Amino acid sequence: MAHGPKKWSEATIERMYLEGRGKGEGQSYKPWIQVLEVSSIGRSRRVAGIKTGREHQLLSDVEWGVFLLLEWARNVVDIREQYPLDRELTLEIASMLRIRHPVYPGTKVPVVMTVDFLTTEERDGTRSLAAYNAKTTTEVENVRSLEKLEIQRYYFQESGIPHHLVLSSEIPAKPVRNLEWIRGGLLKQGELEPYPGFLTENAQRMVTDLARRKSNETLARYCGAFDTRFGLPAGTGMRVARILMHERALLVDLENQDLPTAPLASFPLAHSAGHLKRFGAGG
């Protein structure tokens, strides 16, 4: 819930605030905790955000799974990870609940508690905040972990912000695996295309081709034939298909066990598929 530099002090916390940690929105947001500062549970990741246009600091596999689902959700317009809570308020709440407030190891310095994700969500033109903690099942079996989560639950309840605890056992495995695969097709930061606009051009070509093609072949077979018919490097068709899925131009069932071997007919074109934007860098 809270990690950071090896030597914690009030001066360290003040310096982090002065650096702008926990401030900003969208591309300007700076997470309170950085991957390189922690020993996390599972695999830490620094991921280029598609919606935010900045690098996200994810501390575990559970956070990665929740992040993929939040980023895919249409109503989520901003994701702020490792978001710091007001320490004065968490100290007050801990005292009221008679829970020992966490301190940094080897010190008496109260922790600046963080929530794994604070999102901005938009529905019917109205924006609101929501908080998410992503934890393993083992973590919530620990009494001390539950006490810290109770401080957070009360904190967000008093703030009028919905607070969600997402357990690793509740994360849908197939959709997350498919989202990871789809996301992996996007243009990477610093990656060069054969020529500018290569992927966008071939995405539009695939949309046009699919609009007039009726076939019972699998997605993989179609993509291989697409490469051959248009003289493209092997793998281009499948990558373009993944991009189209990400752009919601090619509709996809995330519960599908194996997307490449699914029938082409199970990927219908969206009505808006003819109006594609230029694809930018992904994660």
pLDDT above 60 for 281: no
CATH no. for 10-171: 3.40.1350.10
Average the pLDDT over 189-204 and give the result: 93
pLDDT above 70 for 53: yes
* Average of per-residue pLDDT values in the chain: 92
Phi, psi of 139 (to 5 degrees): -60, -40
Domains of the chain: which residue ranges?
Answer: 10-171, 175-282
Average the pLDDT over 251-279 and give the result: 84
Under DSSP, the state recorded for 19 is T
d(CA 213, CA 267): 12
Quick one: what percent of the chain has pLDDT higher than 90?
84
Predicted confidence at residue 7, as pLDDT, reads 78
The CATH number of 175-282, from 3.40.50, 1.10.10, 3.30.870, 3.40.630, is: 1.10.10
Q: What is the pLDDT of residues 160-189, one digit of tens each?
A: 999 999 999 999 999 999 999 999 999 988
Contacts of 84 (CB under 8 A, 6+ apart): 21, 22, 32, 112, 113, 114
Predicted confidence at residue 240, as pLDDT, reads 98
d(CA 145, CA 138): 10
List C-alpha distances in Å: 135 to 63, 65, 199, 218. Answer: 8, 11, 37, 37
